[in-house]
Every structure is written in structure tokens, then in C-alpha cells.
């Protein structure tokens, strides 16, 4: 699919970005390196938010009154419409990427003046343009803008919410399909590995392509899995990035599945108990109650650390009623989600001072491996290397 910048979306998001610039971060820079070798979750997220996709080998700088692009000639041509839209409201400067870009860096610095430049400094970019940037010594001061970027991306507009809604429909659809595959395998007694289960649900998305596009209203090529689905059972519940080759076991099964639409993510993680004991049922209902409590606490104006404290208090009281000893309580009850699958700066935790704003989006997998080693003596009849209950 041909990539095209949607000028009105760019203009709207640029205005939001510029309105948040302040004395601490008077200018924001996004340096995007090559895909291979770059670590760039926030860099990519901000480019997608502004331009609709990740622009590799590009420098973009914004102040309240000036915009700077340094990119290939083709990308500059794509940005021409945005330049026309912004005429009169921002000074727009184009610089063509060449073999040696130090002269362009000098010109940008002269127009910017001696201002602090905000960047996601924890992300390291790769490629020749990135190397030139890091070697250049002309910038007055570079400060970390990771928190600033998270604040910008936290609140979702109507279009972003629509993408997240479509992604949630796709995630739910595929999750139900995976649950059915697991149920059928257990009922029939079929031996199947976690890895093969993941492959089957991935293949189902391709097999049902036209129906999925029609039912959810997706555009071809603009949706996908956020990661390879992860199925765990049989005692191995260590956090992993991909499914293992062990066979599905009919005891406790943890499933993780996420999708993205136009780069906007949703995620679902659940624990399945096969023939649960009465204690397991009570524990599961306890976590459901706490989850409902958290949803109710996520109201506009409520600090995230207060949400955490109130939920933790409820969890402590309920586990006390169940006479559960040796509890390791969670340090977080969830996190922001959107262009990043997991936004650590928007964690529902004791240290988070963020205030809930309208149109924040949080992962519904509130309980991510937080009961590790929790119910060691009675959750399962088997001994597990790592215990967990996830809703």
C-alpha cells in the first residue's frame, strides 16, 4: 500500500505537540535511524502519530513557531502538502539528506538558537544519519523527553479511539478462536504444542482475511498481530517473548494475544483453569472484583498512584479473608496502551503521579504475572516454578 501523510491529522497533532512545549522542553527532536539495529519504541510511536507511519533516516524538530525536516528527497516531496498547510502558522524548513549533513545541522542550530532540545535519549538509533547526529557537537543541550512524549500520546482523539476499538474487536475475535482450539484439543485429547497452537491462530487471520476486513471494517495491510501469541501451561510460566515447543497441558493455561490496527495496539491476557478447585474459583473471583474496582477508579482527575493504593488495599483485605499467607503483592496493576504495546510511564503503580485524563487507554490485562510465587502451597497440585493468576 502506498504511504501518504494525512495533512489534517498531521496539523492537528502538531498543534497538540506545540501547545505542550515549555521552558523545560522548548524544542522536540525526533531522530529516526535505520530499522535494523535501532531501539525506537517512542521514536516510532511519535512518527506514526504525526505522519501515519515510521519515517526511517529522518530528523524532525518542532518548536512553537518553527518546523524542521531533514530527510530524503522523496520524503520531502511527501511532506510538501504539510508545508503548504502550515504556511503562515509555522516557519517550515526543508533539508535534503546527503552524504554529509553537518552543514544542514549547522543551519538548523543557527535558526533554533541556543535552546534545549528534547529527545527520547534512552533510545539509540542506528545508521549513517544517526551516527552523524551523535557525533555533531553543535547542540546547546539535549534533555530526555521520554516522559513528555508519553504525555502527548496518552490522550487519544476520536480517530485513534476508532483504531483501538477495531484492534480490540480483532483481538477478541482471535482470542475466542484460540480458546476454542485449546478446548477442542483438551476435549479430544489431541497432543499439540504451544508453538503449533500459536501458528494455527496466526494462520486463521490469513484464512479469514476477507471476512475479518468486512466484519470489522479494516483496511488490507493495516492490521496484524502485535506479537506472536503466547500459550503457557504445565508449570513453565516464566515471562517470554514467544511460545515454546512444550505440549499443551490440561491444568493451568496462560494465554497472551495482542493485535494492532494502524499501529494502535490492544492486548489480552487470561488464565484458564481446567477443572478448578474451590480455592482457585475464589481466587479468580477475588481478582475479578479487584479488576472491576480499578476500572471504576480510572476516572478523570484521579492520580494513578491513588488508583494503585485503593486497589491494593482491597486486594489485601480480600486475600486476608481467604487466609492466604506469604503474599507477594503486585508493584503495578496495568499500564497505558496505544501506539506502544506497553507504556511504562503510564503505569498504575505507587510511584506514578499521572492524573487520569479523558480518553486515556489502559491495557485490560491488569494483572500481568503479579502473583508470582503467590499460591505456592495450594494453587495447583503440581509444583510450579512460577505461579500466576492473570485476568
Assigned domain for 388 exists: no
Query: Is residue 231 domain-shared with residue 334, that is, in the same domain?
Result: yes
Assigned domain for 49 exists: yes
Query: Is residue 97 domain-shared with residue 166, that is, in the same domain?
Result: no
Domain span at residue 271 reads 158-346
Give tens-digit pLDDT for 363-387: 543 332 233 223 322 333 333 323 3
Taking the chain, what is the end-to-end CA distance rounded to the nearest angstrom? 37
Over range 117-142, report the average pLDDT: 93
Assigned domain for 2 exists: no
Over range 34-62, report the average pLDDT: 89
- At 75, give phi and psi (nearest 5°): -65, -40
pLDDT of residue 370: 31
Cell numbers found for residue 197: 497452537
Instruction: Say how many CA atoms lie within 13 Å of 124 toward its Cβ.
Output: 1
| pTM of structure | 0.86
Query: Is residue 253 domain-shared with residue 337, that is, in the same domain?
Result: yes
Q: Are 271 and 283 in contact (CB under 8 A)?
A: no
Query: Is residue 230 domain-shared with residue 134, that is, in the same domain?
Result: no
3-state SS, one letter per residue, for 331-379 = CECCCECCCCCCEHHHCCECCCCCECCCCECECCCCCCCCCCCCCCCCC
Over range 205-219, report the average pLDDT: 95
Q: Whose CA is closest to 252, among 387, 146, 66, 110?
A: 387
Q: Whose CA is closest to 126, among 9, 235, 40?
A: 40
Query: Is residue 339 domain-shared with residue 224, that is, in the same domain?
Result: yes
Query: Is residue 234 domain-shared with residue 136, that is, in the same domain?
Result: no
SS3 (DSSP) at 270: strand
Q: What CATH number is attached to the domain comprising 148? A: 3.40.350.10
Q: Are 8 and 38 in contact (CB under 8 A)?
A: no
pLDDT of residue 361: 57
pLDDT of residue 232: 93
Q: Whose CA is closest to 231, among 217, 214, 245, 219?
A: 245
Assigned domain for 228 exists: yes
pLDDT of residue 236: 79
283 Cβ contact partners less than 8 Å away, ≥ 6 residues apart = 322, 324, 375, 379, 389
Give tens-digit pLDDT for 309-324: 999 999 899 888 888 7
Query: Is residue 210 domain-shared with residue 230, that is, in the same domain?
Result: yes
- At 50, give phi and psi (nearest 5°): -85, -50
Query: Is residue 216 domain-shared with residue 262, that is, in the same domain?
Result: yes
Over range 20-36, report the average pLDDT: 93
pLDDT of residue 384: 31
Query: Which is more confident, 362 or 277?
Result: 277
Assigned domain for 1 exists: no
Q: Are 5 and 99 in contact (CB under 8 A)?
A: no
Q: What span, in angstroms and rounded, lies between the C-alpha atoms of 384 and 387?
A: 6
Look at the block and give the residue holding cell 497440585. Answer: 381
Task: Output the CA–CA distances (angstroms, integers) from residue 99 to 57, 78, 128, in the order listed.
Answer: 12, 21, 9
Q: Are 38 and 124 in contact (CB under 8 A)?
A: yes
Q: What CATH number is attached to the domain comprising 339? A: 3.90.230.10
pLDDT of residue 367: 33
Sheet-wide strand order for 91-96: 91-96, 66-71, 58-62, 27-32, 116-119, 141-144
Query: Is residue 85 domain-shared with residue 104, that is, in the same domain?
Result: yes
The overall average pLDDT reported for the chain is 86
301: how many CB neighbours lie within 10 A of its CB? 8
Of all helices (H) and strands (E), which one includes residue 174?
A: helix 158-188
369: how many CB neighbours lie within 10 A of its CB? 17
Q: What span, in angstroms and rounded, lies between the C-alpha atoms of 375 and 312?
A: 17
171: how many CB neighbours lie within 10 A of its CB? 22
Number of domains in the chain: 2
Assigned domain for 46 exists: yes
Assigned domain for 132 exists: yes
Look at the block and give the residue holding cell 520531502. Answer: 76
Domain boundary among 138, 153, 168: 153
E runs forming strands in the chain: 27-32, 58-62, 66-71, 91-96, 116-119, 141-144, 223-225, 230-232, 252-261, 264-273
* Residue 358 pLDDT level (bands cut at 50, 70, 90): low
SS3 (DSSP) at 69: strand
Query: Which is more confident, 339 or 363?
Result: 339
Q: Is the pLDDT of residue 120 over 90?
A: yes
Domain boundary among 134, 153, 172: 153
Query: Is residue 316 domain-shared with residue 184, that is, in the same domain?
Result: yes
Q: What span, in angstroms and rounded, lies between the C-alpha atoms of 32 and 39?
A: 10
Cell numbers found for residue 182: 485449546
* Residue 179 pLDDT level (bands cut at 50, 70, 90): very high
Query: Is residue 52 domain-shared with residue 136, that is, in the same domain?
Result: yes
Query: Is residue 143 domain-shared with residue 164, that is, in the same domain?
Result: no
Domain boundary among 90, 123, 153: 153
Q: Whose CA is closest to 258, among 345, 376, 365?
A: 365
Assigned domain for 377 exists: no
Amino acid at each position: 500500500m502506498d504511504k501518504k501523510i494525512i495533512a489534517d491529522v498531521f496539523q492537528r497533532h502538531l498543534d497538540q505537540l506545540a501547545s505542550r512545549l515549555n521552558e523545560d522542553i522548548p524544542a522536540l527532536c525526533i531522530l529516526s535511524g535505520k530499522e535494523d539495529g535501532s531501539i525506537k519504541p517512542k521514536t516510532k510511536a511519535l512518527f506514526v502519530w504525526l505522519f501515519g507511519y515510521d519515517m526511517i533516516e529522518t530528523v524532525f524538530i518542532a518548536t512553537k513557531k518553527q518546523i524542521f525536516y531533514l530527510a530524503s528527497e522523496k520524503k520531502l516531496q511527501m511532506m510538501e502538502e504539510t508545508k503548504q498547510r502550515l504556511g503562515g502558522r509555522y516557519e517550515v524548513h526543508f533539508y535534503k539528506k546527503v552524504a554529509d549533513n553537518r552543514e544542514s545541522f549547522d543551519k538548523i542550530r543557527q535558526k533554533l538558537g541556543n535552546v534545549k532540545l528534547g529527545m527520547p535519549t534512552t533510545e539509540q538509533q542506528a545508521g549513517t544519519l544517526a551516527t552523524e547526529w551523535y557525533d555533531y557537537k553543535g547542540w546547546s543541550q539535549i534533555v530526555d523527553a521520554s516522559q513528555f512524549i508519553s504525555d502527548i500520546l496518552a490522550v487519544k482523539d476520536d480517530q485513534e479511539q476508532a483504531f483501538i476499538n477495531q484492534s480490540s474487536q480483532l483481538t477478541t475475535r482471535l482470542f475466542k478462536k484460540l480458546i476454542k482450539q485449546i478446548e477442542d484439543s483438551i476435549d479430544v485429547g489431541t497432543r499439540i504444542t504451544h508453538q503449533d497452537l500459536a501458528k494455527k491462530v496466526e494462520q486463521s487471520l490469513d484464512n479469514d482475511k476477507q471476512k475479518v476486513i468486512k466484519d470489522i471494517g479494516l483496511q488490507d495491510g493495516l492490521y496484524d498481530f502485535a506479537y506472536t501469541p503466547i500459550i503457557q501451561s504445565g508449570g513453565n510460566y516464566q515471562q517470554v517473548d514467544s511460545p515454546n515447543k512444550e505440549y499443551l497441558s490440561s491444568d493451568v493455561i496462560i494465554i497472551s494475544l495482542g493485535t494492532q490496527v494502524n499501529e494502535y495496539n490492544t492486548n489480552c491476557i487470561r488464565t484458564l483453569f481446567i477443572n478448578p478447585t474451590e480455592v482457585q474459583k475464589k481466587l479468580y473471583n477475588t481478582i475479578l472484583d479487584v479488576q472491576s474496582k480499578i476500572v471504576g477508579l480510572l476516572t478523570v482527575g484521579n492520580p494513578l498512584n491513588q488508583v494503585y493504593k485503593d486497589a491494593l488495599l482491597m486486594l489485601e483485605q480480600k486475600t486476608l479473608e481467604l487466609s492466604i499467607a506469604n503474599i507477594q503483592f503486585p508493584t503495578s496493576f496495568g499500564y497505558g496502551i496505544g501506539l506502544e504495546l506497553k507504556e511504562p510511564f503510564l503505569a498504575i503503580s505507587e510511584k506514578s503521579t499521572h492524573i487520569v485524563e479523558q480518553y486515556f487507554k489502559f491495557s485490560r490485562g491488569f494483572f500481568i504475572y503479579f502473583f508470582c510465587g503467590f499460591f505456592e502451597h495450594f494453587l495447583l497440585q503440581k509444583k510450579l516454578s512460577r505461579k500466576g493468576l492473570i485476568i
